[in-house]
Structure 1
Amino acid sequence: MTQKIGFLGAGRMASAMISRLLEKGYQVRVWNRSADKVAPLAAKGAIACVTPADAATGVDVVISFMADDTAAETVWLGNSGAVSTMEPGTVAIECSTLSHGFVLELSAKINANGCPYIDAPVTAIPAQVAAGETMFLIGADNAVLDRVRPIMDAVANRIIHFGPIGSGTVYKLMNNLLGAVHIAAAAELVAVAQKAGLDGKLVAEAFTNGAVASRVGVMTIPGMISGNHKEGVHFTTALRAKDAGYAMWLADELGLDLPVGRSATEMFDRAIEAGLGDLGQSAVLETIRGK
């Protein structure tokens, strides 16, 4: 029998995953704080729900895709939270990028209600998720992971099991901090190149085909060169700043000083202070230009 799924969140990544699950024949109950984002999914066959608890009613698995710790705590444990209606044995899959300490706290509270927890952040952009090319970064018990593997296989082309709960988040946070470092360094490259009068198209071409190119850098440099930080946004400046901040918290937990990561995090924090949080990550360039 096909497992029934409750889904918390309908943002860009979540909507892509829900659409993929619907295409694969899963029944999906969906809640989102802004109900208008659920309507297109309901048109594809999803069941629109009015609360997280409603979405978690009568399902085998509950998946969450939230922006941060606060939002995740609310949808799982708050008033009308999912845990209130999850039957013992229902698997909680948390795909959000959360702080490491909070993942350990949240998983313990959900486990205490008889529901196994899977730490399952992802690395992908919405188009990859929709195409079934998600990479899951897993922290979980092997037996629990095996129970939901068909669902994950429906949306993923790779599942990397790092170890127990929290280990998937460790890798995801450092992965996203590395992304912040790449973007910050690319912004410095573009700022210098533009100030020196280099042709933007040639700069982008040279970077894309050079040895130091990174995927995230290639994705963000066009916006830096054009100055258009609003179109084709896959990930906002605010979300990158949040993830980098969580990564630095993790470093503090481990007693490590990360000077390069700290510098990139500070650049993104300055972008937030400048009111650029809702723009694409290329907007971090404006902190160098002083705009």
Structure 2
Amino acid sequence: MLRTVCLFMKNRSGETTRFRETMLSSARAEKEIRKIGFIGLGNMGSRMSANLIKKGYQVKVNDLDTSSCAMLEKKGAEVVTDSKKLAGEVDCLITMLPASNHVLSLYNLDNGVIHNIRPGTLIIDCSTIDPSVAIQLAPVFKEVGTDFVDAPVSGGIIGAENGTLTFMVGGEDQGAKKAEPVLLSMGKNVIHCGPAGSGQIAKNCNNLLLAISMIGVAEAMNIGIKMGLDPSILAKVINISTGRCWSSDTYNPVPGVISGVPSSNGYKPGFTVNMITKDLNIAKRVTDKLGTPFEMGEKTLAIYDQLSKSEHGEKDFSVVYKYFKDKSLL
């Protein structure tokens, strides 16, 4: 039996918006997910959506970059230029957007896609954003009859390409359970971290550590190289010793140490300096609110902020090696 639900919520202008949706009276309809919409086809999103196509899903894509859309179309995706139209045609909508403001703009109550999403649709936001945004959106989606999870990722472009990403999921149990098979089509690990926003909290802690460790590897490699060590030998020593980490053995910042990574390709991103700086600023805002120390984070943010304001802002974040190699280049 169907009932109509009317929501009254304040929009960004402070006005009250009447939000009308039809929902199931007892429980949300469970249905097989076959049609997936994907909004945001950057370095990560384009690879993630390609893996969904490989797994047999009917994938509809949307992005401002028409070349990314064209590439996915050749792989079997349907390009939908109107994001609102796309949102109303799928069983599951995945977003992978650069920052909090992009997510809020897409789903806003004034004229966002939320008005077009059908009850029962699964919403998965894989963007890395402020946890408060996910917490803010969760009750809105719940009231209109959809399941919402925040599911930021770890693993970089290599993980996105190979389908080996780790997803950190925040949301109710029902949504997390529904999202798991979809996420496993793009990755190998799905961890339900807790209620809405928990995935973002976990991701932000991870990226803080990632930024600190990348700087540590860059600084250590620079010292060893300037003292005469061969960079490949130094990396080998680190990677079989206690200093080993992802930034040293998988994504080394020194050119030529590892083939196929940004440092060996002119620091072509990858994960940009501007993006890691954004994430560090989120961590700073969170720790400021909590009143908890952010000492290593402050120094790390200061270095990446300097890089962000230089010509290296759109280069891969491993370009921080140049900060230590020759600061005059900045």
Q: Please give the TM-score of this superposition, normalised by the length of structure 1.
A: 0.91
Does residue 241 (structure 1) correspond to residue 277 (structure 2)? The answer is: yes
| Structure 1 residue matching 2:253: 3-state secondary structure | helix
Q: 2:199 aligns with which of 135, 144, 168?
A: 168
Q: 2:238 aligns with which of 207, 212, 233?
A: 207
Aligned to 1:221: 253
Backbone CA RMSD of aligned residues: 2.3
CA distance in structure 1 between the aligned counterparts of 2:50 and 2:305, rounded to whole angstroms: 33
Query: Per-residue CA shift, 1:175-230, capped at 9, x if unaligned?
Result: 00000000111222133233334333332222233211111233133339797662
Aligned to 2:53: 22
CA distance in structure 2 between the aligned counterparts of 1:121 and 1:2, rounded to whole angstroms: 20
Structure number with higher relative contact order (C-alpha < 8 Å, ≥ 6 residues apart):
1
1:28 is displaced (CA, Å) by 1.1
Q: 1:43 aligns with which of 51, 55, 74?
A: 74
Number of aligned residues: 291
Q: In structure 2, give the amino acid aligned to 1:33.
A: L
Q: In structure 2, give the amino acid aligned to 1:254.
A: L
Aligned to 1:68: 99
Moved more, 154-163 or 30-39: 154-163
The structure carrying a bigger helix percent of its residues is 1
Aligned to 2:210: 179
Does the 8 Å CA contact 2:61/2:77 hold for their aligned counterparts? yes
CA distance in structure 2 between the aligned counterparts of 1:28 and 1:130, rounded to whole angstroms: 17
Aligned to 2:131: 100
CA distance in structure 1 between the aligned counterparts of 2:106 and 2:234, rounded to whole angstroms: 44
CA distance in structure 2 between the aligned counterparts of 1:2 and 1:200, rounded to whole angstroms: 48
The structure carrying a bigger strand percent of its residues is 2
4+ long deviations beyond 4 Å? 224-229
Q: Please give the TM-score of this superposition, normalised by the length of structure 2.
A: 0.81
CA distance in structure 1 between the aligned counterparts of 2:39 and 2:129, rounded to whole angstroms: 15
Q: 1:251 aligns with which of 278, 287, 298?
A: 287
Q: 1:271 aligns with which of 286, 301, 307?
A: 307
CA distance in structure 2 between the aligned counterparts of 1:101 and 1:229, rounded to whole angstroms: 36
In our comparison, the structure showing a higher alpha carbon Rg is 2
Gaps of 5+ in 1: none
CA distance in structure 2 between the aligned counterparts of 1:91 and 1:255, rounded to whole angstroms: 35
Gaps of 5+ in 2: 1-31
Identity of aligned residues (%): 26
